[in-house]
Structure 1
Amino acid sequence: MNILLTSVGRRTYMINYFKEALKGTGLVHASNSILSYSLLQADKYFITPSIYEANYIDALLTYCIGNDIDVVISLFDIDLPILALNKSRFEGNGIKLIVSKIEVLNICNDKWNTFLFLKNLGLKQPLTFLHLDDAINALKNKDLKYPVIIKPRWGMGSIGIYYAENKNELRVFYKKIYKEIFNSYLKYESKKTMTSCIIIQEVIDGQEYGLDIFNDLQGNYITTVAKKKIAMRAGETDIAEIVDSKPFVSISKEISCNLKHIANLDIDCFLTEGNEELIILEMNCRFGGQYPFSHLAGVNFPLQIIKWIQEEETDQSLINAKIGIRGCKDLVPVLF
């Protein structure tokens, strides 16, 4: 089995996880629109056109066919919808694409849709506003209080996130974020909603947790791995500890059964002081930056995905995490 990981960025560890899972029975290929150290760790790699270029999918398909790729898995939010919309082209060439339906991706990538989805399920989420005037009115009526967090609706990678302590800061940061969005790759998604591409949210006090909610390749719930987040860096979990998932299972199942995502769903959430309420912050429909901590604790979801593709049953030893394991992401200088 040959696997292509697209838009790998800096996630060398994901390449290594899949190489270890294949155990020499196939090759792990990687692609990215710019050269990165991670690409060099794959068995083979290639540089793609930008995700937003018209020939992106054609380039991927040509590479897949020419290199006998059996499975394609993306590691980047923006890549997912483009792949999902072209799933039939891959499958028509005998290539399995591990990606959720476009409707699922639109819920996860669009933070306003995430808010509406969770609200419809009756699950707790930060009070969220799509328009500046609505947030200002809520602040005036004391339905919302400072500080508030302002962020891109289609945001990722901690681009354009600010905390406003007063009305003046709110207006200034709102304008600043708008400029940052359209000076970054966020502009491509944000063009869909140019007049409403920023959200304003209440700030949640409490302990932050990360959840890996694993579904099988038919979208059926399998398990949840919960992590207490201890430190963050550039929007990703940097230090975390595996905790008992029992307090999170009920909500995980509800999200899983209603979303029907494929494979991993990465969720950020807060448990308020006194463990009174679980508040869902964001959902990413892919292997997220917190997955390595699940892997360090004994989970091997790359291998389980391979087994499912080979029509094998779920192996419980591959999805159970050891509670109490703490890990961190180390930085090792390398020649490049």
Structure 2
Amino acid sequence: MALGILISSAGRRAGLVDCFRRSGEALGLELKIVACDLRPELSAACHLADVALALPRCTDAGYVDALIDIVEAHDIRLVVPTIDPELEVLASARDAFARRGARVHVSPESVIAVARDKLRTAEVLAAAGVPVPRTRAFDPTSHANGFAWPMFLKPSGGSASRGIRVVSGPQELPDAIDEPMVLQQLLHGPEYTVNMFVDIDGTLRSVVAHRRLSVRAGEVEKGRTERAPLFTQLAAGVLRALPEARGVLCFQLIQDPGAGPCVFEINARFGGGYPLAHHAGAEFSRWLLEEVADLPRTAHDGWRDGVTMLRYDAAVFEG
């Protein structure tokens, strides 16, 4: 019988579908990849999956029930969310999926609550000794005194570069906000994504950093893997701050000439640039399948340095 994998909010994640398919083949597993999206007919990843199904928005009251129906109908063993807004609702429903024999690839709610809040991210990481940029909650009713301008203004729960902008001084701050916002130290220098794999027992098994050479819509377009002790030390610090984290996570940092390396964001999921780490030899998708299928675990940190990814636009055609 095929082992069922469900990738939710699949969208453009064709590369992730391919990584799981290749990992299944390498393990000798027959996989059934189910990809779901709001409009699967318009999702490239859904067209590359074995089964494509529609799901309501993750903010819909019926989202979890719809996912559970698919899990039961297709004998799903692993559910892989791909966007930040899904994580909290799925973390709260992990037990419901487990009772049906499915593991949801999501860390506990305590981890998601920190990762989805940029102010808490800065506070919790700093308490664990991880360097972070100066970060404050933005209150439009109070004076922003004592700030070193310019700064970043960004949604505390934002992702994919949504709603961020540089403000050069108090005169550019909004008079009102629709959601919690933070003001954060504006950093300069090379930017990195660091991919982490934490096994089911809580051990950090692999740390893969790539320099973000070019970014589009918040996702790396061109990147190159770089190995350095600094990245492993920072990843160990992130896990020290979030000891309940499991599976795949990634965080972003900038090496500022003055402030040094500063971690400013955590994504408790597969990052958009994961295919680069996979191609370099850090096959997180394989290691998750090994855990789910109760196979010998082969997670390692022996990935290749200096591997470059140059993304380009491709197309899936129908009809």
Question: Normalising to structure 1: TM-score of the pair?
Answer: 0.87
Q: Percent identity?
A: 25
Residues 1:154 and 2:161 are matched in the alignment: no
Give the equivalent residue in structure 1 for 2:313: 331
Give the equivalent residue in structure 1 for 2:31: 26
Task: Give, in whole Å, the separation in 2 of the partners of 1:116 and 1:247.
Answer: 20
The counterpart of 2:114, out of the listed 102, 107, 114, is 107
Task: Give, in whole Å, the separation in 1 of the partners of 2:131 and 2:240.
Answer: 17
**Aligned to 2:266, what secondary structure does the other structure show?**
strand
**1:36-90 alpha-carbon deviations (Å, 9 max, x no partner):** 1221111102101121122111111111111111111111111111111111111
Residues 1:271 and 2:255 are matched in the alignment: yes
Matches within 5 A, 1:159-238: 159-171=162-174, 175=176, 178=177, 190=179, 197-238=180-221
Task: Give, in whole Å, the separation in 2 of the partners of 1:287 and 1:135.
Answer: 38
Determine if contact 1:3/1:29 at 8 Å carries over to the other structure.
yes
Determine if contact 1:108/1:114 at 8 Å carries over to the other structure.
yes
Give the equivalent residue in structure 2 for 1:281: 264
Give the equivalent residue in structure 1 for 2:123: 116
Determine if contact 1:213/1:256 at 8 Å carries over to the other structure.
no
Determine if contact 1:220/1:257 at 8 Å carries over to the other structure.
no
Q: In structure 1, what residue type is equivalent to 2:270?
A: F
Number of residue-to-residue matches in the alignment: 310
CA distance 1:333–1:68, shift in 2 (3 Å): closer
Q: In structure 1, what residue type is equivalent to 2:122?
A: F
Relative to total residues, which structure has the larger helix share, 1 or 2? 1
The counterpart of 1:305, out of the listed 276, 288, 291, is 288
**Aligned to 1:314, what secondary structure does the other structure show?**
coil
User: Displacement, 1:135?
Assistant: 8.1
User: Displacement, 1:286?
Assistant: 0.3
Determine if contact 1:224/1:245 at 8 Å carries over to the other structure.
no
CA RMSD of aligned residues (A): 1.9
Could you tell which deviates more after superposition, 120-129 or 307-316?
307-316
**Aligned to 1:222, what secondary structure does the other structure show?**
strand
Query: Larger relative CO (CA 8 A, sep 6+): 1 or 2?
Result: 2
Determine if contact 1:215/1:264 at 8 Å carries over to the other structure.
yes
Task: Give, in whole Å, the separation in 2 of the partners of 1:115 and 1:33.
Answer: 33
Determine if contact 2:130/2:237 at 8 Å carries over to the other structure.
no
Question: Normalising to structure 2: TM-score of the pair?
Answer: 0.91
Task: Give, in whole Å, the separation in 2 of the partners of 1:127 and 1:257.
Answer: 20
Task: Give, in whole Å, the separation in 1 of the partners of 2:136 and 2:172.
Answer: 16
**Aligned to 2:173, what secondary structure does the other structure show?**
helix
**Aligned to 2:84, what secondary structure does the other structure show?**
coil
Task: Give, in whole Å, the separation in 1 of the partners of 2:143 and 2:274.
Answer: 37
Determine if contact 2:132/2:262 at 8 Å carries over to the other structure.
yes
Matches within 5 A, 1:53-64: 53-64=60-71
Q: In structure 2, what residue type is equivalent to 1:33?
A: L
Gaps of 5+ in 2: none
The counterpart of 2:225, out of the listed 233, 242, 253, is 242
Segments of 4+ moved more than 6 angstroms: none
